[in-house]
Amino acid sequence: MKIAVAGTGYVGLSLSVLLAQHHCVYAVDILPDKVEKINQGISPIRDAEIEQFLKEKRLDLHATLNPEIAYSDADFIIVATPTNYDVDSKKFDTSSVETAIHTIRKYNKQGTIVIKSTIPIGFTRRMRHELPDKNLFFSPEFLREGHALYDNLYPGRIIIGARLEDESLLEKAKIFASLLQEGAVKQNIPVLFMHSTEAEAVKLFSNTYLAMRAAYFNELDNFAETRGLNTDEIIRGVCLDSRICDFYNNPSFGYGGYCLPKDTKQLLAEYADTPQSLISAIVESNDIRKKFITDQILSKNPKCVGIYRLTMKSGSDNYRESSTLYVMRNIAASGTKVIIFEPTWNKPDYEGFEIVNDFESFKNRSDIIAANRITGELSDVKEKIYSRDIFRRD
């Protein structure tokens, strides 16, 4: 079977590698650097399993800048291009997905298109009418950055949204689900078939739930910190309830990363005239958290704040929508000096803030070290650290 994938980011590359174990996969991108790296067996993103598979496994994987070579004759074409949040329209910018779909149909009229990008609710149905073309599915992607391939090798569920009334389309949806299962290590993966609009809603409601949970424990921590209470004890006590569970409960500088902030805002936009208060509170709570963290740091009157890593998680190498960035900008806006330790950034400054990657110098110059996540290398400057990383496990 020939499969093409538009976009070689976290989603596109992890799926390309997964599927290239058993099928011929053409991965398309618009960035020559990424294409070149993949063809050399080097992962353009930091992800242990992707790096290992590209180096060690026999994969039938071809990265290319040429959409015609990739898309023509492909049986399935996956779209995994960005859907950034547009601050002006307060919605996703879906233009890259639309461009990819039109390009695919220019070279391939028959192949089944599966959108993996996170899109507005109703987008796939609208595209089907616009084109017109029934052969267009949406399959939500649930991977975590840094564990992208792992999460496709061990997926919690596979969901395919299609026009189920049509027998032949249901058959294709089943084939696509079987391709994802075939590449996975995990057995007995729950598979759900539903209409594409419901599948789109699953994605946005899942991420908004995760954002809500993060915001909840962050607000618990706001409360504990202002009252001088032990957050650790409170969260452990709360989470021993089997209905609440002891996971995804470690306070942070705010939920962040590429997806949670934008997906939550998109769901809020979807509500429009439907009554709600929780969804807007989830968005607002994160802003309150970032301001709270900033105020806590500034209340200690530091002359120079050292920002320890711009990444959201230890082990990550991207800073997209990292809550630390917002805290850093807020601190700087108050007139306080900011310096950054970020070894994955090899330029002298980030947004005009000085990068100090000589770790000894960074530690000496910082009055306070703001660390969203703490690692062992900070052990000799414990008294300088400001962090809410209570459990130090993610």
Ligand X SMILES: NC(=O)c1ccc[n+]([C@@H]2O[C@H](COP(=O)([O-])OP(=O)(O)OC[C@H]3O[C@@H](n4cnc5c(N)ncnc54)[C@H](O)[C@@H]3O)[C@@H](O)[C@H]2O)c1
User: Rule CB under 6 A: which residues touch ligand X?
Assistant: 6-12, 28-31, 34, 80-83, 96, 99-100, 116-118, 141, 143, 145, 258-259
Nearer to ligand X, 63 or 297 (CB): 63
* DSSP helix/strand/coil, 285: helix
Active site residue 259: yes
* DSSP helix/strand/coil, 273: coil
- Shortest distance in whole angstroms from residue 29 CB to ligand X: 5
What is the spatial distance between Cα 107 and Cα 32, in angstroms, rounded to a whole number?
Answer: 21
Q: Quote the tokens at residue 278.
A: 């929780």
Strand partners, 138: 115, 161
- Shortest distance in whole angstroms from residue 367 CB to ligand X: 35
Longest dimension (CA), the chain: 67
Beta-sheet strands, E only, within the chain? 2-6, 24-28, 61-64, 76-79, 85-86, 91-92, 112-115, 136-138, 158-161, 191-194, 304-308, 337-341, 349-350, 353-355, 368-370, 385-386
Sheet holding 2-6, edge to edge: 61-64, 24-28, 2-6, 76-79, 112-115, 136-138, 158-161, 191-194
**Within a 10 A sphere around the Cβ of 157, how many other Cβ atoms?**
12
- Shortest distance in whole angstroms from residue 382 CB to ligand X: 32
Task: Determine contact, residues 79/102, Cβ cutoff 8 Å.
Answer: no
Nearer to ligand X, 99 or 357 (CB): 99
- Shortest distance in whole angstroms from residue 67 CB to ligand X: 7
Q: How many helices (H) and strands (E) does the chain have?
A: 14, 16
Nearer to ligand X, 141 or 221 (CB): 141
- Shortest distance in whole angstroms from residue 148 CB to ligand X: 7
Nearer to ligand X, 81 or 112 (CB): 81
**Within a 10 A sphere around the Cβ of 132, how many other Cβ atoms?**
8
Catalytic residue from among 24, 239, 245, 259: 259
Nearer to ligand X, 118 or 135 (CB): 118
Give the residue numbers annotated as catalytic, written as ranges.
259
